[in-house]
Amino acid sequence: MSTLATTVLDLLLDPLAYDFMVRALLTTLIASVVCAVLSCWLVLIGWSLMGDAVAHAVLPGVVLAYVVGAPFALGAVVFGFLAVGLIGVVRDTSRVKEDAAIGIVFTTLFALGLVLISVTPSQTDLNHIIFGNLLGVSWPELTQVMVLGAVVLAVLVLKSRDFTLYAFDRTHAHAIGLRPRLLGAVLLGLLALTAVVALQAVGVVLVVAMLIIPGATAYLLTDRFGRMLVLAPVVSASCAVIGLYASYYLDTAPGGTVVLAQGAAFTVVYLASPRHGLLGTRWAARRRRLRRERAGA
């Protein structure tokens, strides 16, 4: 084997000699794939802000679940729905507009989580929820990520076509006897569960990046929803691996580095996507203009 190949292999395998790196890699891979698949629907429905809100609002639920010894997922789902419900109430029963309602509700719930953390013993543990603790993920935590990830992915795949219909045309969904409200509620529940999965990897603050960037990136690459569902997780998982290795060798925060990799991937696609990228559309316009001029000449 050539020395170069050996060196690359060493670079790749070295970190995996540590058990904690293996757990970190698995956690971030699962989180990035689950988030990426869900993000395809979120960006099309226009729920990016809602994703941000729910991801933050689950914090008090997770802390309370920790205090009473219940599963994190339960607390997260309860507070996820509570947040969405409160946003709806504030929007519908006052003159405050939706974006303001979202901002008020999720920051208040997030703040409640911070206060709860400050009065709960074992602070070190819970502060990890906010910024993530990828290198400190335990096997039980990883197991929870796997189970929740599998549940979310299974529901998304099984009801994929219904969710797409919901995203595209709720009125038609209603007109053919489906229940769009139920579909929306299920999607919100999945969003709360996904937030629990992702906060193990990158923490509450950066979850929203994993919930928006992969779907938005894939949306710039294709006009087919089926392809989005493949491209988003592939791009997201690649960024997760690249980000994690980069953080190992550069000694940077792993969660932050993973999200930076995703932001970089989006930037490249935003500029260079053949069909919907900035340069691609400029060049196409230029080619059309030149053709017109030549035809006119």
Partner 1 sequence: MATAPAPAVDVREVTVHYGEVLALDRASLRVEPGRVCGLIGMNGSGKSTLFKTIMGLVAPEHGTVAVDGGTSARARRAGAVAYVPQSEEVDWSFPLTVRDVVMMGRYGHLGLTRRPRRGDHEAVDAALERVGVAPLASRQIGRLSGGQRKRAFVARGIAQGARVLLLDEPFAGVDRDSEATMVRLLRELAAEGAGIVVSTHDLHALPELADEAALLMRRVLLHGPTAQVLRPENLAMAFGLGLDGRAER
Q: Which residues bind partner 1 (CB under 8 A)?
A: 44, 158-162, 164-165, 167-169, 171-178, 219, 222-225, 227-228
CB of 216 to partner 1, least distance (A): 12
CB of 164 to partner 1, least distance (A): 7
CA atoms within 13 A on the CB side of 57: 28
- 132 touches 196 (CB < 8 A): no
3-state secondary structure 89-142: HHHHHCCCCHHHHHHHHHHHHHHHHHHHHHHCCCHHHHHHHHHCCHHHCCHHHH
Q: Output DSSP code: residue 262.
A: H
CA atoms within 13 A on the CB side of 275: 8
Q: Which is nearer to partner 1, 167 or 187 (CB)?
A: 167
Q: Which is nearer to partner 1, 55 or 220 (CB)?
A: 220
CA distance 177 to 82: 27
Q: Which is nearer to partner 1, 201 or 231 (CB)?
A: 231
CB of 280 to partner 1, least distance (A): 15
Burial classification of residue 91, based on how many CB atoms lie within 10 Å of its CB (0-12 exposed, 13-18 middle, 19 or more buried): middle
CB of 218 to partner 1, least distance (A): 9
Tell me the angle at which helices 19-45 and 254-272 cross, rounded to the nearest 10 degrees.
40
Q: Which is nearer to partner 1, 128 or 170 (CB)?
A: 170
- Nearest C-alpha neighbor of 32 from the set 297, 215, 252, 279: 215
CB of 39 to partner 1, least distance (A): 13
CB of 249 to partner 1, least distance (A): 37
Furthest C-alpha separation in the chain:
79
CA distance 242 to 256: 12
Phi, psi (deg, nearest 5) at residue 6: -60, -45
Q: What is the dihedral of CA 42, 114, 120, 78, to 10 degrees?
A: -30
Q: Which is nearer to partner 1, 176 or 295 (CB)?
A: 176
Phi, psi (deg, nearest 5) at residue 169: -155, 85
CB of 259 to partner 1, least distance (A): 24
Q: Which is nearer to partner 1, 172 or 289 (CB)?
A: 172
Q: Which is nearer to partner 1, 131 or 225 (CB)?
A: 225
